[in-house]
Amino acid sequence: MNLDAVSLTRELLSFNTVNPPGDERDCAHFVGHLLEAAGYQTNYYEFADKRATLIARIGGSGDKLPLCFTGHLDTVPLGVAPWARDPLAGESAGDKLFGRGSSDMKSGVAAMVVMALRVAKLPARKSGVILVLTAGEETTCEGAHYVAGLDGVLGRAGAIVVGEPTANAPLIAHKGCVRYAINFKGVAAHGFMPEQGVNAIYRAAEAVRQLAALDFAVPTHPFLGKPTLAVTMINGGTAINMIPAQATISLDIRTLPGQTEPEIRQKLIAALGDDAEFQLIHGAASVGSDANHEWVQQVYAIMHRLTGTQPVPAGATYFTDCSVLTPAYGNPPTLILGPGEPEVAHKTDEYCYLSKIELALEAYLAIAKEWCAL
């Protein structure tokens, strides 16, 4: 089958893999069948019903470690604002292809899969390729955690490309992530006698104000910038006529290399006081590769040739499955490189440029050919 990356992106968009609930199984098997037909060995790992991660591999004649390409199959929800385009139909206008996951990151997955189908036909392939297409990345990288925790499932890899949206700029680092739920307790009372209770929502609201002004006071990273903190959810109260005895806020913190969870927690406690109850919901490591690594330089040269722009060391502000996969593979050099537009990911009327999907395919193919030829 001579599948092109744009058609495959459209196919992948038609699978509703909005997470939650996810339902990546059908999408994973669709891709898996294409790869099997081309000679790949495929395995599926479900961390929960229908939450399938696909691992596909093909070998080479030498003993160099394979090159890993990774991406996720799930997407974020559509959001509350109405879409001007059908988010599952793969509608295009000019150079834009619309849909939930078009940028983040079914276009990247499609380009990787088409690259993999072509690599399978390379006659003198000395090393192989492994594709790790995960479920559940958008929530807490559950799919990546699951396969990383299974003995011998990931195998080994000499380098990793993760196809998250970078508009085809090769990035060498990204932030980590720490998420908490913070619980505030109060004392319930009747709504007409607030003075007899302690209002937990007022306590949470005061904390929100403190957090909005919080500065982690760490040096700005040369290309990741500053760490960020956002209060992303707030829940509390029991009934409209009761003084609330409980309120919870949720925090999403994006960290720089060197920031650890215990240090962050300490800083939050210093700001909020220690009677708030902290629950760690999720932690993900930051990723950083050496810009001078030989392979990184090879990829820079490929991207310079394809785009006319010399890449400079840069990082992504979001985290990826490589928070899990890069350490699991023993910290090989890792690049974030994908056709999607980082600015439109997770937004209403998300789109990707058709021309960048084609360019990502060319880039992946050149990277794989160079890797597999040696």
Q: Which residues bind Zn ion (CB under 5 A)?
A: 104-105, 164
Which of 104, 341 has the CB closer to Zn ion?
A: 104
How far is CA 94 from its chain centroid?
A: 28
For residue 128, which amino acid is it? Answer: G
Nearest-approach distance from CB 76 to Zn ion, in angstroms? 8
Nearest-approach distance from CB 351 to Zn ion, in angstroms? 15
Nearest-approach distance from CB 250 to Zn ion, in angstroms? 20
Residue labelled with tokens 């409209």: 240
Count of CA atoms in the C-beta half-sphere (13 A) of 239: 7
Nearest-approach distance from CB 22 to Zn ion, in angstroms? 14
Render 173-238 in DSSP notation, one character per residue.
EE-EEEEEEEEEE-B-EETT-GGGSB-HHHHHHHHHHHHHT-----PPBTTTB--EEEEEEEEE-S
Nearest-approach distance from CB 344 to Zn ion, in angstroms? 12
Q: Look at residues 228, 265, 252, 360 and name the one whose alpha carbon lies nearest to residue 307.
A: 360
Nearest-approach distance from CB 75 to Zn ion, in angstroms? 8
Which of 11, 164 has the CB closer to Zn ion?
A: 164
Which of 116, 345 has the CB closer to Zn ion?
A: 345
Which of 119, 345 has the CB closer to Zn ion?
A: 345
Which of 60, 340 has the CB closer to Zn ion?
A: 340
SS3 assignment, position 68: strand
Q: How far apart are CA 331 and CA 106, in angstroms?
A: 25
Residues 6 or more apart whose CB falls under 8 angstroms from that of 57 comprise 40, 41, 66, 128, 129, 130, 131, 155
Which of 14, 139 has the CB closer to Zn ion?
A: 139
Contact 158, 65 (CB under 8 A): yes
Render 270-315 in DSSP notation, one character per residue.
HHH-TTSEEEEEEEE--EE--TTSHHHHHHHHHHHHHHS------E
The DSSP code for 88 is: T
The encoded tokens of residue 326 equal: 């890069």
Nearest-approach distance from CB 144 to Zn ion, in angstroms? 12
| CB-based closest residue to Zn ion | 104
For residue 34, which amino acid is it? Answer: L
Cis upstream peptide for 342 (omega within 30°): no
Nearest-approach distance from CB 105 to Zn ion, in angstroms? 5
Nearest-approach distance from CB 287 to Zn ion, in angstroms? 14
Q: How far apart are CA 167 and CA 178, in angstroms?
A: 26
Nearest-approach distance from CB 137 to Zn ion, in angstroms? 6
The DSSP code for 90 is: T
Most distant CA pair in the chain: distance in Å?
A: 81
Which of 23, 164 has the CB closer to Zn ion?
A: 164
SS3 assignment, position 143: helix
Rg over CA atoms, the chain: 22
Which of 91, 164 has the CB closer to Zn ion?
A: 164
Which of 244, 315 has the CB closer to Zn ion?
A: 315
Which of 24, 104 has the CB closer to Zn ion?
A: 104
